[in-house]
Amino acid sequence: MKKQLKIVVLAAVLLTIFPSCSENYLNEAPQAGLTTDVVFSKYANIVKFFDSVYDGQRVVLVNGSNATHDYNIKTAHPLYFAYRMEYTWDEMTDMSDGGRQYEAQSIKAGQMGGTVDKFAGPISSKNMPILPSMFECIRVCNMTLENINKLQDAQQVDKDDLIGQAHFIRAYAHFALFRIWGSMPFITQVLKPGDEFDLTRLSRYETCKKISQDFDTAYVYFGKAGIMRRDADLQLSNPKQFRPAGVAALGMKARALLYAASPQNNKNGVNDWQDAAKACGTAIDTAKFYGYAMQTAANASGNLKQAYKNNFMNVPRTNEQLWSFYVNYNNPTIANPNWSIGLTTIQSMTNGVFSQQATAMSGENPTQNFVDRFETKWGEPLNTASDRAAATALGHYNEQDPYSNRDPRFAWGIVYNQSTEVAGFNPANIYYETVAGKQVFSDLLNFSAYLGVTRTGYYQRKSIYDSNTKVTTSYNLTDPIIRMAELYLNYAEAASQGYGGANGMAPGTALSASQAVNLVRTRVGMPDLPAGLDPVTFLKRLKNERIIELCFEGHYYFDVRRWQDAPAAYNQVLYGMDIEKVTVSSTYPKGFKYMRMPLPADRQSMWKNEMYTFPFTTEDNYKMKNFAPNPVW
């Protein structure tokens, strides 16, 4: 028997307690002599109302003074999620350790406790109110759709554009809720007093399907409006690119269907994988038709590293990104006033060394477990001791020279001992040495000088610019919410599972699963995956490729759950690298002794099945009369 979800989790109570900026706008209308019909009859008014999904805010009391905090769709974006010190999505997995002991460490160890209030509760000075913000966005979208035909001064193309945006944001908000809290009702109408609020909670599969259908509807209306991408001239300069468009809608539809097919949600076996593969293939073909492509050296005057890096920083957007969010690190209003984070730093990703405040921030530090996922430049895996022994036998790996001859994305995404081109720290010294019987720590292990210093021997670099306590600068950070490389990896996964392994190919496409993943690899100079891999081995290698390519972009936390790989990932022992400076010798050819060491017990992770979803707040749980809430951790 299907269970019911009470109103407090859906919308009405949340939205009654926390009235939106858009509702405030409507509340002011009667005082100005305007009715609701008049408000929605004007294009400028309805755009102002709808745009609260992008930049709506709340005023909260902080230290006795009013402060504004975001209450809109970007609270669901991975980069925005990292603005507080306490957590990033990757810090809550085996991928990363936090430099400072904050809430991410407790969460990955299976202790949610009162932290859930920060995600599911009302806005406050310290909260990240994802759940109420998403329901707020859904309500604004539904109000827009219900009133769109009252518009009197708009061209049909403008109406179609708004309808497309409303369906897209509604789907994106439902998807954010689904990934974090599990299956939900799919709300397509404005809930009013007197309505039946005890709505049916869909299955996980049904939720994914409803989301994909809404993205598909968005695509249809964007197509009617002729807006498949906002910058039709491919110059990436259109100021409206913070709004999604048709190609992004197709890409998100395909992602939703990939989730529907995944082991955690699959209902119809191979048929669900085939549906996802077809959608992914269509998204790729459409994106290519409209000029989207992965960044190559040609995009940065022959510099492949720079071209790849541009997906995450330096420039507001690239032609690889179907939809993105960006912010200026030191002056958020510079990048895009509609999308500013409103703070001066991404606190969880940086620490005292790689911020501009030595005694602040937290730090996101990759574990040795994750570092081992980066292959040799010849394509040998290094995940296990036997993998490393095999690569060593070929002369392609040396445990005492572990960072030479690796996948180039390793150096692009991680600061390791003796990394080059690290502004202010060149090379990057992450070691200790014994001097007169005492341990002396290098700059990047100086616990007395900087907060958030790594305990793993590594720093995250992919989304951290070359700005720190020694070199301060202002720069753009970009969250590539969906990009071409992901489309290829989504297709590769779905096609391999739906059509028989590495050679699987969706009907109507000219791309096999192996060809798709190899496009992502060869773009960065890595060799193709070996030919003839059996389906199980191919999927294992494909997953590893996805983890590497999309690392620190907010995918891994959700991927290991939809794959149902989370128990194994969280229950493994997490390691860091102990690095001691020694005399150069045949044993230690770089003058450093490298030793894998388990992280302290309070930095380990653990798994229990409750961790597949976040719980709701205690207050909300008490109000659920006909619904068994998500398990409390």
pLDDT 10s digits, 435-473: 999 999 999 999 888 988 999 999 999 988 777 888 877
One domain for residues 489 and 594: no
One domain for residues 560 and 505: yes
Encoded tokens for 10:
């859906």
One domain for residues 527 and 598: no
Angstrom distance (rounded) from CA 319 to CA 257: 24
User: Does a structural domain hold residue 17?
Assistant: no
110-119 contacts, C-beta under 8 A, 24 or more apart: 110/606, 110/607, 110/608, 110/610, 110/611, 110/633, 111/633, 112/614, 112/615, 112/632, 112/633, 113/633, 115/86, 116/614, 116/615, 116/616, 116/617, 117/617, 118/86, 119/180, 119/614
One domain for residues 421 and 563: no
| Helix (H), strand (E) at residue 162 | helix 156-181
User: Does a structural domain hold residue 11?
Assistant: no
One domain for residues 464 and 597: yes
User: Does a structural domain hold residue 386?
Assistant: yes
Confidence of residue 625 (pLDDT cuts 50, 70, 90): low
Give the per-residue pLDDT at 336: 40
User: Does a structural domain hold residue 582?
Assistant: yes
Angstrom distance (rounded) from CA 12 to CA 26: 17
Mean pLDDT lowest for which of 99-113, 377-391, 507-521, 597-611?
99-113
* Residue 571 CB neighbour total at 10 angstroms: 13
DSSP 415: E
Predicted confidence (pLDDT) at residue 282 exceeds the cutoff of 90: yes
User: Does a structural domain hold residue 592?
Assistant: yes
One domain for residues 513 and 458: no
Confidence of residue 5 (pLDDT cuts 50, 70, 90): very low
For residues 485-515, b (16+ Cβ closer than 10 Å) or e, as one string?
bbbbbbbbbbbbbbbebbbbbbeebebbbbb
Here the CATH number for the domain that contains residue 523 is 1.25.40.900
User: Does a structural domain hold residue 454?
Assistant: yes
Instruction: Estimate the crossing angle of helix 535-549 against helix 513-523, to 10 degrees.
Output: 30
Predicted confidence (pLDDT) at residue 13 exceeds the cutoff of 70: no
DSSP 5: E
One domain for residues 370 and 439: yes
One domain for residues 391 and 464: yes
One domain for residues 471 and 564: no
Sign of CA dihedral 297, 300, 301, 304: negative
One domain for residues 461 and 598: yes
Q: Give the pLDDT confidence of 39-73 residue by residue, as tens digits.
A: 799 999 999 999 999 998 887 776 777 777 788 99
- Domain enclosing residue 375, as ranges: 364-477+574-602
One domain for residues 469 and 514: no
One domain for residues 558 and 591: no
Highest averaged pLDDT of the listed ranges 59-68, 354-363, 563-572 = 563-572
Confidence of residue 124 (pLDDT cuts 50, 70, 90): confident
User: Does a structural domain hold residue 43?
Assistant: no
Q: Give the pLDDT confidence of 289-320 residue by residue, as tens digits.
A: 999 999 999 999 999 999 999 999 888 899 99
| Residue at token pair 């090379």 | 427
Q: What is the mean pLDDT of residues 585-598?
A: 98
Angstrom distance (rounded) from CA 36 to CA 365: 51
Predicted confidence (pLDDT) at residue 254 exceeds the cutoff of 90: yes
Backbone phi and psi for residue 628, each to the nearest 5 degrees, phi listed first? -80, 110
| Helix (H), strand (E) at residue 327 | strand 321-328
Mean pLDDT lowest for which of 165-179, 190-204, 213-227?
190-204
User: Does a structural domain hold residue 188?
Assistant: no
pTM above 0.85, yes or no: yes
Q: Give the pLDDT confidence of 327-344 residue by residue, as tens digits.
A: 765 443 333 433 344 444
Give the per-residue pLDDT at 550: 98
Predicted confidence (pLDDT) at residue 419 exceeds the cutoff of 90: yes
Q: How many domains does the chain have?
A: 2
Confidence of residue 173 (pLDDT cuts 50, 70, 90): very high
Select from 551, 570, 589 the last residue of a domain. Answer: 570
Q: What is the DSSP string of 63-75?
A: TTEEEEEE-SGGG
